[in-house]
Amino acid sequence: MRHQRVGKKLGRDSAHRKALYSNLAGALIEHGRIKTTVTKAKAVKPIAEQMITLGRRGDLHARRQATAFLRSRDVVHKLFAEVAPRFKDRPGGYARIVRLGPRAGDAAEMAYLELVDEEYVAAQLEERTPAPAAAVAEPEPEEELDVGADEGADDGDDEAGEADEPEGLGEAGPEEAPANPRESD
């Protein structure tokens, strides 16, 4: 009987399970959001929250405990320097599980395990996604009103046309590109 046995075994021996939890918690701290199965997310969520609580404490003993579990000084540094200060006023509940549905290969229930702080998740997304060049180069609407209608329209069309142009054509133009891609072979 398994009376009062806490935690999932996940089909792994204890060393493999401990390494899995360490890696998933470290990835959550490093990236702010990870995609995993619902069962793994439920198992790792309390561990990751405990690591954030250690980061909130901020003393040497807490840092050593986090390093012993996470086994990465870079992740521990990010935990104590960036992640934990964002949760200094929050008494708990640092992570959430967002269900995504079944995985295509084996129909395992998938979920995002992510940190709750919206500012932190938004900052992580901004770091990973580059800003589009067309959005940065757009002039402000007030400046277009000051410039003549013909000049303002030409500038906007050129920039938008460059952004919408396919990469394969470039400056060569369509006359140099073969009409049928199979004919070039």
93-130 residue pLDDT tens: 999 999 999 999 999 999 999 999 766 666 767 777 88
pLDDT at 183 over 60: no
The reply to whether 141 and 102 lie within a common domain is no
Please give the distance of CA 166 from its chain centroid, rounded to a whole number. 28
Q: Flag whether pLDDT at 144 surpasses 70.
A: no
Q: Are residues 69 and 153 in the same domain?
A: no
Question: Is 127 inside a domain boundary?
Answer: no
Same domain, 96 and 138: no
Cα radius of gyration (the chain) = 25
Say which DSSP state 166 is in.
-
* Eight-state DSSP code of residue 172: T
Q: Over the stretch 10-68, which tens digit does the pLDDT of each residue have?
A: 999 999 999 999 999 999 999 999 999 999 999 999 999 999 999 999 999 999 999 99
The verdict on 60 and 87 lying in the same domain is yes
Average pLDDT on 127-140 reads: 65
Q: How many domains does the chain have?
A: 2
Beta bridge partners of 102: 109
Q: Are residues 102 and 51 in the same domain?
A: yes
Q: Closest by alpha carbon to 61, among 76, 45, 46, 83?
A: 76
Same domain, 106 and 142: no
| CB neighbour burial string for 75-101, b if at least 16 within 10 angstroms, e if fewer | bbebbbeebbebbeeeeeebbeeeeee
Helix, strand, coil in percent for the chain, rounding step 5? 55, 10, 35
For 100, the domain range is 14-117
Let me know if residue 106 belongs to a domain: yes
Q: CATH code at 110?
A: 3.90.1030.10
With cut-offs at 50, 70 and 90, classify the pLDDT of residue 2. confident
For residues 113 and 27, state if they share a domain.
yes
- Mark whether 26 and 80 lie in a shared domain: yes
Whole-number Å distance between alpha carbons of 163 and 63 = 48
Is 29 a domain residue?
yes
